[in-house]
C-alpha cells in the first residue's frame, strides 16, 4: 500500500487539521487543505475544479485504496449548493458508482441556495438529480461532518437517511435545519415584532437553541455513529474503506433507476 500508514488512531501528522477549521460558522476555510492532509501523500486528481467551485469532486487514495471525494468548500460561496454544484456532484457520484469506487463525503454545508432566481433556474430539479444519484449508489459511502450539515444539504451529502456505511462528526459540528442564529432571525419577528430584542436576551435565546443542536446530543439520538478527534479522520476513513471494500448491497431487480429531469 502507498501513502502514510494508518496504524496510529491519532495521527500527529494531522495536527494541522485542528487549525484549519475555525470555530465560528461565519469564518471560511479551504476544504482542499483538509483533503490534502487526510489522503495518501496529499495527492488528489481534481475533477472539474473550475466549475461549480463551492463543491469539490476529486479522486484520491486512502492507504492505497482509491476513493472519490465529494466535499463542500466554505471558501467558495460558503459551500452552498445550487443547480451547478448539484449537477457536478451527481455526475461524479455516478462515475464512482459505475466503477465501484467508494465515496467519501466531507460535509460543511449551509443547505441549498433559495430565492426566486434559483427556483426559476430549476434548483429543485437539479437538486433531485443529486438526491437520485446518492440514493441509487451502491458503493460504500463514508461521511465526515467537519462543521455543519443544515437542511436538505445534510441529506444530499450522504446524511443518515441515505444509509452511509459510516457517519462521523468532529467536535463542535452541527446537524440541524439551520443554525441557532438563523432560527432566531426567523422566529424573532414573531416573538418581538418590529422591535429587536436586547443583545443579552438574543444571546440567551441563541444559547438555549444551541443546546438542542449540540453534536453530542445528536449522536445520542443515533444520527451520527461517533464524534471523533479531527486527527483521527484519516485513520478512521482508511479503516472504513478497508472494511467496506468489496461489500455488496441488495437492490430490487431492475436495469437502472430513472433520473429526475
Q: Which three cell numbers stand for residue 200?
A: 443579552
Give the pLDDT score at 251.
Answer: 75
The predicted structure's pLDDT at residue 180: 56
Does the structural domain 12-172+215-244 have CATH classification 3.40.50.150?
Answer: no
pLDDT at site 4:
58
Q: What is the pLDDT of residue 1?
A: 41
pLDDT value at position 12? 46
What pLDDT is recorded for position 2? Answer: 47
Return d(Cα 105, Cα 164) in angstroms, integer: 10
pLDDT tens for the chain, residues 1 to 261: 445 556 554 454 555 777 788 877 778 999 999 999 999 999 999 999 999 999 999 999 999 999 999 999 999 998 999 999 999 999 999 999 999 999 999 999 988 877 777 776 778 888 889 999 998 899 999 999 999 888 888 889 998 888 899 999 999 888 876 655 666 666 666 666 667 777 776 677 667 666 677 888 888 888 899 999 999 999 999 999 999 988 877 777 777 777 787
Distance separating alpha carbons of residues 173 and 167, to the nearest angstrom: 12
The pLDDT of residue 184:
60
Query: Do the bridges between strand 166-169 and strand 141-150 make them parallel or antiparallel, or are there none, so unpaired?
Result: parallel
- Backbone torsion region of residue 185, taken as left when φ is above 0, otherwise alpha when ψ lies between -120 and 50, otherwise beta: alpha
Residues near 257 by beta carbon (within 8 Å), at least 6 away in sequence: 132, 135, 136
- Write down the pLDDT at residue 150: 87
Would you list the domain boundaries of the chain? 12-172+215-244, 177-213
Amino acid at each position: 500500500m502507498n501513502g502514510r500508514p494508518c496504524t496510529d488512531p491519532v495521527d500527529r501528522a494531522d495536527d494541522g487539521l485542528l487549525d484549519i477549521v475555525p470555530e465560528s460558522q461565519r469564518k471560511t476555510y479551504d476544504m482542499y487543505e483538509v483533503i490534502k492532509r487526510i489522503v495518501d501523500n496529499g495527492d488528489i486528481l481534481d475533477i472539474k475544479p473550475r466549475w461549480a467551485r463551492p463543491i469539490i469532486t476529486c479522486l484520491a487514495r486512502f492507504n492505497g485504496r482509491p476513493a472519490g471525494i465529494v466535499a463542500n468548500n466554505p471558501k467558495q460561496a460558503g459551500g452552498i449548493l445550487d443547480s451547478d454544484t448539484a449537477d457536478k456532484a451527481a455526475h461524479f457520484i455516478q462515475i464512482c458508482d459505475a466503477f465501484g469506487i467508494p465515496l467519501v463525503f466531507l460535509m460543511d454545508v449551509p443547505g441549498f441556495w433559495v430565492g426566486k432566481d434559483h427556483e426559476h433556474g430549476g434548483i429543485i430539479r437539479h437538486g433531485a438529480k443529486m438526491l437520485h444519484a446518492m440514493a441509487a449508489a451502491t458503493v460504500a459511502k463514508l461521511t465526515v461532518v467537519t462543521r455543519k450539515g443544515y437542511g436538505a444539504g445534510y441529506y444530499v451529502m450522504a446524511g443518515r437517511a441515505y444509509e452511509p456505511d459510516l457517519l462521523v462528526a468532529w467536535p463542535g459540528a452541527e446537524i440541524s435545519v439551520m443554525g441557532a442564529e438563523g432560527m432566531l432571525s426567523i422566529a424573532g419577528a414573531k416573538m418581538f415584532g418590529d422591535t429587536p430584542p436586547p443583545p443579552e436576551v438574543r444571546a440567551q435565546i441563541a444559547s438555549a437553541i444551541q443546546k438542542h443542536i449540540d453534536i453530542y446530543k445528536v449522536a445520542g439520538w443515533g444520527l451520527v455513529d461517533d464524534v471523533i478527534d479531527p486527527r483521527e479522520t484519516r485513520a478512521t476513513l482508511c479503516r472504513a474503506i478497508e472494511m467496506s471494500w468489496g461489500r455488496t448491497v441488495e437492490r430490487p431487480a431492475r436495469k437502472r433507476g430513472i433520473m429526475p429531469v
